[in-house]
Amino acid sequence: MTIARTFRLMPRMAIAATIALTGVFGQSAQAQQRGVSVVRDAEIEALVRDYSAPILDAAGLGRSGIEIVLVGNNSFNAFVAGRRIFINTGALVTAQTPNEIIGVIAHEAGHIAGGHQQRLREQMSRAQTIAVIASVLGAGAAVAGSLTGSSGLGQSGMGIFAGGSEMARRSMLTYQRGEETTADRAAITYLERTGQSARGMLATFERFADDMALSGSRVDPYQLSHPMPRERIANLEELVRTSSFADRKDPSALQQRHDLMRAKIAAYTQGHQAAMRLFRDDPRGVPALYADAIGTFLAGNSRDALKKIDALVRAQPGNAYFHEMRGEILMRANQPAEAAKAPAKAMSLDKSRSGIIQVAYGNALLQTGKPDQIRKAAVEIQAGLTRAKEYAAGYRYLAQAHAQLGDIAHADLATAEGHFYSGNYKDAKIFAARAQQKMAPGTPGALRAQDIIAYRQPGRG
Ligand SMILES: [Zn+2]
């Protein structure tokens, strides 16, 4: 299952309707059936990290180990839990400029630096990523899809949750009005310190204020958790007007990376044509061509997709993610030997040293089926997973590699890890117990299996 499929199961209108019917805190059958997934993608993660790093430094949070987590959801949302800032893919694809997302990150950083929801955040800092999302959004999805999907925009985890903690959800999503003002002012300060405009943040908030005023039919979760009364917008407008960087634009290279990200998310979540339409003003531009290549790939036409990505590789040979995508297309075209060269090239170009690309490289080696490549595959996948620790799909490949090498104990442990990071704790414990029986007591594998067996979800008996 690819993420595109999941998204089709939860169209925007359905989400809006659910919220309208039950309120954002309400539980509904639809909400529980709705998939919530962590999106893992090297390109998007690197970009959002580049957006957030200067802001977090300016907020004095540069060394606090704040992580950004991408949530596969078409609505506009961003929220803080524990040491994590969660951002919906829907927000990333909606934002026309990097500055709009940077502004939202600055506002959320303002909540963290201000110590808002401190007690709740401490509780949440120990919780699993997928469990946090589930408890905040009160939604889960079938485990069946959790370990599949080898695409670049692959899901890391989807789990079934009976509902999470109502209290946690309620307080996580609601700030005091005074806290909103504090976060706004802090955000402006961080943007000033980093020489960036606050217009993007203002544009985002204004959009929500207007939407709220005009109709109740399209309500995003962010709007509900961040009330935008007119007076708040007016205060912000005044602050932006007096800023020395109000008219500063994002660097054009950053804008292009932003557009490439939008092209990718749109191709996966909205379809080929919708992704192309995003760039109708510049149909021969690189983002439009990227949307076209990915859309063609997702439609199952690997041959044409390969031609299209090759053209992009020729245009920007230094773009790691074009090589990564080329590898995915070749994998789909059943050319794993050729495919392995592409992520290897991507790894050499990727400044963020993403473990996700290394896992893709290992998987390509694995799929060659050659005995000498399988051992190498296990090493590469394992190394990738040490840097992309919660990348559930990666553990499925690791399990395959161990199984093919005849190491069933570590195959079971890898399967347990995959279920664990998908939030499927029941199956995680079953496989961890199987692995443990086959391992010598006290070995690292046996200890990890024991951790999984002993894991208790925070807030659950
Ligand atoms: Zn806020």
One pLDDT digit (tens) per residue for the chain, 461 residues: 233 333 332 333 233 222 222 222 222 333 333 456 789 999 999 999 999 999 999 999 998 889 999 998 888 888 888 788 999 999 999 999 999 999 999 999 999 999 887 766 676 667 777 777 766 665 333 222 222 333 435 554 443 333 445 555 555 556 777 888 899 999 999 999 999 999 999 998 888 776 555 555 556 677 766 767 788 888 889 988 888 899 999 999 999 999 999 999 999 999 999 999 999 999 999 999 999 999 999 999 999 999 999 999 999 999 999 999 999 999 999 998 899 999 999 999 999 999 999 999 999 999 999 999 999 999 999 999 999 988 999 999 999 999 999 999 999 999 999 999 888 899 999 999 999 999 999 999 999 999 999 998 765 54
d(CA 144, CA 85): 27
Is 50 exposed, middle or buried (CB count within 10 Å of its CB: 0-12, 13-18, 19+)?
middle
276 CB-side CA count, 13 A: 11
Instruction: Tell me the CA–centroid distance for residue 175 and ligand 1, in Å.
Output: 6
Using alpha carbons, list the distances in angstroms from residue 403 to 87, 258, 355, 407, 412. 36, 40, 22, 5, 8
Instruction: Tell me the CA–centroid distance for residue 345 and ligand 1, in Å.
Output: 41
Instruction: Tell me the CA–centroid distance for residue 227 and ligand 1, in Å.
Output: 8
Instruction: Tell me the CA–centroid distance for residue 391 and ligand 1, in Å.
Output: 29
Instruction: Tell me the CA–centroid distance for residue 192 and ligand 1, in Å.
Output: 19
Instruction: Tell me the CA–centroid distance for residue 178 and ligand 1, in Å.
Output: 10
d(CA 392, CA 355): 12
Residue in this structure with the two tokens 């230094």, named with its chain if needed: 318
Q: Where are the alpha helices (DSSP H) in 242-301?
A: 252-269, 272-277, 286-298
Helix (H) or strand (E) holding 156: strand 154-157
Instruction: Tell me the CA–centroid distance for residue 170 and ligand 1, in Å.
Output: 14
Instruction: Tell me the CA–centroid distance for residue 226 and ligand 1, in Å.
Output: 5
Instruction: Tell me the CA–centroid distance for residue 12 and ligand 1, in Å.
Output: 22
Instruction: Tell me the CA–centroid distance for residue 156 and ligand 1, in Å.
Output: 27
Is 83 exposed, middle or buried (CB count within 10 Å of its CB: 0-12, 13-18, 19+)?
middle
Residue in this structure with the two tokens 């659950």, named with its chain if needed: 460
Instruction: Tell me the CA–centroid distance for residue 27 and ligand 1, in Å.
Output: 23
Residue 67 forms beta bridges with which residues?
84
Instruction: Tell me the CA–centroid distance for residue 25 and ligand 1, in Å.
Output: 17
Instruction: Tell me the CA–centroid distance for residue 176 and ligand 1, in Å.
Output: 9
- Residue 69 sits at φ, ψ, to 5 deg, of -120, 130
Give yes or no for a contact between 331 and 150, defined as CB atoms under 8 angstroms apart: yes
Instruction: Tell me the CA–centroid distance for residue 108 and ligand 1, in Å.
Output: 6
d(CA 265, CA 255): 15
Structure tokens at 237: 């407008």
d(CA 231, CA 229): 5
Q: Kindly give, in sequence order, each residue whose CB lies less than 8 Å from that of residue 215, ignoring residues fewer than 6 positions away.
A: none
